[in-house]
Amino acid sequence: MRPAALGKVRIRRPALPGTDMSFVGHLVPAAMQASTLKLRLAFLLACLLSVPALCTAAEVDDSLHAADARWNSLRLLPDVEGLSTLLADDWVLTHSDGRVQHKADYLGELSTRSRSNQSIGNEDVQVRRYGDTAVVTGTSVQAGTRDGTPWSGRFRFTRTWVWAEDRWQMVASHSSRIATQE
């Protein structure tokens, strides 16, 4: 016995112009119009076609590690144009002395050569992903000059990356100087 609320049920195979739907069998309430079914199928097809090709998780992780390594190599060159594409427009850097720099100021400093990195080496790098966001932490041993004054040190760093526009973009970077052991 069939519940009264369902009404009559029959099997229909909708035929959309230019498509072969013979492999699809749908249970469709008898009262549903063919145009409503076509509209729903068109909507479903549009949704499926609008989904971009997704990378595998391993490919995304590999691209994150590559982007983070690129951050260091571009700073050593310095490649302002390369860094500009790697950093999000609202990127912010918090230095170990508490200074805060935004993208334009940091890239300007690199382009005038008032800041120069001579060496950067990372240790104990850890990556944690949260959907389209990743946090990279570790220890960095660096040396360089700023306004002609040499500097060097060991730093703990935290970098935040966001997957946007089919690539990783850094949105924030923070470093804290590790005190020297006496």
- 152 with 64, same domain: the answer is yes
Check if the beta carbon of residue 77 is closer than 8 Å to that of residue 86: no
Using only the alpha carbons of the chain, give its radius of gyration.
27
The answer to whether residue 182 sits within a structural domain is no
The answer to whether residue 89 sits within a structural domain is yes
- 36 with 86, same domain: the answer is no
- pLDDT score recorded for residue 107: 96
Least confident of 16-25, 53-62, 105-114: 16-25
Q: Residue 104 carries which side chain, given as an amino acid letter?
A: A
Query: SS3 of 29, please?
Result: strand
- 35 with 110, same domain: the answer is no
User: What are the start-end ranges of the E strands in the chain?
Assistant: 9-12, 26-29, 87-94, 100-102, 115-130, 133-146, 149-164, 167-177
Instruction: Inform me whether the pLDDT recorded for 37 exceeds 80.
Output: no
Query: Region 76-99: what's the mean pLDDT?
Result: 97
The answer to whether residue 43 sits within a structural domain is yes
- 95 with 170, same domain: the answer is yes
For residue 100, the enclosing domain spans: 57-177
Higher pLDDT, 78 or 39: 78
The answer to whether residue 69 sits within a structural domain is yes
Q: Residue 164 carries which side chain, given as an amino acid letter?
A: A
- 46 with 90, same domain: the answer is no
pLDDT tens across 159-178, in order? Answer: 999 999 999 999 999 999 99
Instruction: Inform me whether the pLDDT recorded for 22 exceeds 70.
Output: no
- 153 with 83, same domain: the answer is yes
What CA–CA distance (Å, rounded) separates 73 from 81?
13
- pLDDT score recorded for residue 113: 85
- 148 with 86, same domain: the answer is yes
Q: 89: domain CATH number?
A: 3.10.450.50
Higher pLDDT, 140 or 24: 140
Q: Is 159 buried (19+), middle (13-18) or exposed (0-12) by CB count in 10 A?
A: buried
pLDDT grade, residue 146 (50/70/90)? confident
CB atoms within 10 A of CB 67: 19
Instruction: Inform me whether the pLDDT recorded for 131 exceeds 60.
Output: yes
- 45 with 113, same domain: the answer is no
Which residue, 12, 30, 50, sits at the end of a domain?
Answer: 50
Which residue, 17, 32, 50, sits at the end of a domain?
Answer: 50
Query: Region 77-105: what's the mean pLDDT?
Result: 97
Check if the beta carbon of residue 101 is closer than 8 Å to that of residue 92: yes
- 118 with 169, same domain: the answer is yes
Q: What is the overall mean pLDDT for the chain?
A: 81
Q: Provide, rounded to the nearest whole percent, the portion of the chain with pLDDT above 70.
A: 68
H or E element at residue 109: helix 103-111
- pLDDT score recorded for residue 180: 85
Total domain count for the chain? 2
Sequence-distant (≥ 6) Cβ neighbours of residue 61 within 8 angstroms: 127, 129
Query: Region 10-17: what's the mean pLDDT?
Result: 50
